[in-house]
Amino acid sequence: MSRHTHLPGQPLTALYLLHAGSMDARLIGLSVERHWKHSVRLVATLDEARVVLVDCDRPGVEAAFEQLGQHPRTGVVCYAFHPKDHAPRFPNRVILGKPLNLESLPGILAQAANDTARQVAVAPPRPQAAPETPPANFSSKPAALGHGLKMDDERDLCGAMDDIPLTAGATLPEKLFFDPDLYLIGHLSRAVEQAIVSGRPHVISGLPRLIGVQPRPLPICVTAFRDNQLRPFSMTQLPNTTARIVSSLIFSESVGTDTVYGAEDFLWNIAAWAARGRLPLGADPYQRVRLKAWPNFTHAFVSPHALRIAALWTRTWASPVEIATRLAIPHRYVFSVFSSAQFAGLLDRDAPAVTPPVIAPVVAPTQQQRPSILSRILRKLLNAV
């Protein structure tokens, strides 16, 4: 599907970013410039807008909403990490989940603008000026986005993909895969590779913050991105030409002394956030692989069941689907670990020609004395930490 989605004769949607951070503003600005120029137009003032986009996670959002009281004809689309948490504060508002789906956002903005204008047109005249903004009730529609009000933490981390068939042969859904080149992980992976091969520092520029890669003595990544910026940024599709990888002789001066990450940990995390329960394009969910080693889980992102997956997958040649089956967990959790492991360099694909048959499902913990005490210790640790 082309990203330049535009219905003939439809006016450009005048969009005002009412309460968006500078990074979001830049990303959305780039998207408008490069992909939506036939459907969306960014405007400089609220008066010109047909629809506004509001980041509910930023402080001061209530004050932002107060401004809308003067603009009843302006549609409102909100977005947040946890839409459910904001629903009581802003009832009847469209609240999309982060990351924003760039494919569908122009359509949602246009619909919010049109619906609001239509509601205002048919509403009975009010005696008072400055009426409250009519609600743009999309409660039954965001489901088409795959996120929205139903999104919860788990979905944030690993998506909501259904399991795939247990055996190869069927056509796999396209949405099972993500193209790393469209995300930060693709750029980062190339930068790390180029830095290691050349032995010289590299910098990813063109983003709101620089990301530097130092190959020696141990590969590290340095960035001024904060964690709470990195995660949404990693989840968001970047226009192809946004980031540039350049070799840098003066690493420390070009990047500064900001947060330092081990390259393996950094790649693991950025990949997990991009994947959200999907596989990198070209991955085979039925091919037997193995984890070379446990990831550094004191710093690497721990998705649901990741410890169990690592414990099993470091000792067993098995496909992602087989691992999920043995642990009796949804496939998407294993796909998340697979994606991270691939980019962190922890995936071993060189399975022996004859791999032993996949052993029986993991024994239920209640059947042995030891698992019983182990489970109780585990529960204690999970509750305590």
Among 217, 352, 356, 357, interactor with another protein by CB under 8 A: 217
Nearer to another protein, 136 or 318 (CB): 318
Burial category of 172 from C-beta neighbours within 10 Å (exposed 0-12, middle 13-18, buried 19 and up): middle
Closest CA to 273 of 145, 149, 157: 157
Nearer to another protein, 132 or 163 (CB): 163
327 makes contact with another protein (CB under 8 A)? yes
Q: Which of these segments, 120-128, 162-170, 228-236, 295-303, binds another protein (CB under 8 A)?
A: 295-303
Nearer to another protein, 123 or 373 (CB): 373
Please report how close the Cβ of residue 371 comes to another protein at its closest, in angstroms: 5
Task: Sort strands 94-97 and 75-80 into parallel, antiparallel or unpaired.
Answer: parallel
Nearer to another protein, 22 or 369 (CB): 369
Among 132, 297, 355, 359, interactor with another protein by CB under 8 A: 297
Residues touching another protein, count (CB under 8 A):
41
305 makes contact with another protein (CB under 8 A)? yes
Please report how close the Cβ of residue 304 comes to another protein at its closest, in angstroms: 8
Nearer to another protein, 83 or 219 (CB): 219
Among 87, 150, 262, 288, interactor with another protein by CB under 8 A: 262
Q: Answer yes or no: are the C-beta atoms of 6 and 212 closer than 8 Å.
A: no
Among 107, 314, 351, 358, interactor with another protein by CB under 8 A: 314
Asked if omega into 217 is within 30° of 0 (cis), the reply is: yes
118 makes contact with another protein (CB under 8 A)? no
360 makes contact with another protein (CB under 8 A)? no
376 makes contact with another protein (CB under 8 A)? yes
The count of C-alpha atoms lying within 13 angstroms of the C-alpha of 334, restricted to the half-sphere facing its C-beta, is 29
Please report how close the Cβ of residue 102 comes to another protein at its closest, in angstroms: 33
Nearer to another protein, 247 or 297 (CB): 297
Nearer to another protein, 188 or 306 (CB): 306
Q: Answer yes or no: are the C-beta atoms of 231 and 193 closer than 8 Å.
A: no
Nearer to another protein, 188 or 346 (CB): 346
373 makes contact with another protein (CB under 8 A)? yes
Give the C-alpha separation, 247 to 262, whole Å: 19
226 makes contact with another protein (CB under 8 A)? no
Please report how close the Cβ of residue 301 comes to another protein at its closest, in angstroms: 12
Closest CA to 307 of 235, 224, 374: 374
Residues contributing to the site for another protein (CB under 8 A): 217-218, 262, 264, 292-294, 296-299, 304-305, 307-312, 314-315, 327, 361-365, 370-371, 373-382, 384-385
